[in-house]
Amino acid sequence: MQIQSTQVADTFAEAFKMYAARLIITAENEKWALAAARSVTGFATSVIGCKCEAGIERLLGEQETPDRRPGASVLLFAGSVKGVGDRLMERVGQCIMTCPTTACYDGLSEGEAVTVGGKLRFFGDGYQSSKLLDDTRYWRIPVMEGEFLVADTFRVQPAVGGGNILLLGEDLSQTLSAAEAAVDAMNAVDGVVLPFPDGVVRSGSKPGSRYKGLPASTNDAYCPTLRGRVEHTALAENIGCVLEIVIDGLDEAAVGEAMRVGMLAAAGTGIPEISAGNYGGELGQFQIGLHALLQGDQLP
């Protein structure tokens, strides 16, 4: 399939079943809401080494938040409901409660409940108090600047992690421009986050390694410097750089839409090829075909 001068490979992204929570963080102004959102999503690029994946879904206006203050929506993903709950406990306590003026609300309407504020309340050392609003319990935890308001529980729902596209360019400048264009388009899709730094990863991985105990290693088939050394390369002679964009979403439709708009945006930059990472369909529960995502578009 051809989009302008870009060839889209007839392949699929192999994605995985995960679980997700949505945090609504509010603060006195956008600066502090964003500060908390950045902190709580730090060191959360991959479950391989970070135990969770997280990102800022979008900023929220005063009319979109429970307390009518500026805010940010954050999505956090892990491999189990318990994993999400454990990471929320750690990150809400260390990254949001510590940030001046913040409050933290549950952003999902359904899912299995995990206790967060109900455990963090003990930081109040007996001075904490509870508040019931519209059948939702909150905890008011005294802090030196005032009070931290946090939901007692947060809902966790099934989700999809590891959707991806691979951008194959002739050089770094061309490929990076394509990746930036794709990220801008993907960030406009609700229900997804791109967990790697500003959405882009250069160190794509494959499962396993020749070294014992290492769960993942460099995706050598897509490393331009290894083209003459590996048994099977996925790169044509004109490809000098590959960048990957990984997408996590609340459902498969949201991940697919992000992949679709990202491919269309990247193709307009003139890179030679777009592909996707998979393991032959043997590991992930979802196979998201690139051609199927694009078939509804009127391609130039």
Residue 112 β-bridge partners = 156
What distances in angstroms separate CA 237 from CA 170, 173, 212, 242, 279, one per listed residue?
9, 17, 33, 13, 23
Closest CA to 47 of 167, 212, 216: 216
| 2-15+160-294 and 19-157 have identical folds | yes
d(CA 155, CA 15): 22
Full-prediction pTM beyond 0.75? yes
Structure confidence at residue 283 (pLDDT): 86
User: Which tokens go with 9?
Assistant: 């490979």
Token pair of 256, please? Answer: 């697919």
| pLDDT (0 to 100) of residue 300 | 47
Give residue for tokens 């502090």.
32
Cα gap 125→17, rounded to integer Å: 38
Write down the domain spans for the chain.
2-15+160-294, 19-157
Any idea which residue has 């609300």 for tokens? 105
Domain 2-15+160-294, CATH among 3.40.640.10, 3.40.50.300, 3.60.10.10, 3.30.70.520: 3.30.70.520
Measured distance CA(208)–CA(217) in Å, rounded? 6
Q: Digits of tens for pLDDT over the chain (300 positions)?
A: 999 999 999 999 999 999 999 999 999 999 999 999 999 999 999 999 999 999 999 999 999 999 999 999 999 999 999 999 999 999 999 999 999 999 999 999 999 999 999 999 999 999 999 999 888 999 999 999 999 999 999 999 999 999 999 999 999 999 999 999 999 999 999 999 999 999 999 999 999 999 999 999 999 999 999 999 999 999 999 999 999 999 999 999 999 999 999 999 999 899 999 999 998 888 899 999 999 999 976 554
Question: What H or E segment, with its residue span, contains residue 86?
Answer: helix 81-91
Architecture of domain 19-157: 2-Layer Sandwich (3.30)
Q: Do 18 and 281 form a contact (C-beta atoms < 8 A)? A: no
| Rounded Cα gap, residues 142 and 44, in angstroms | 28
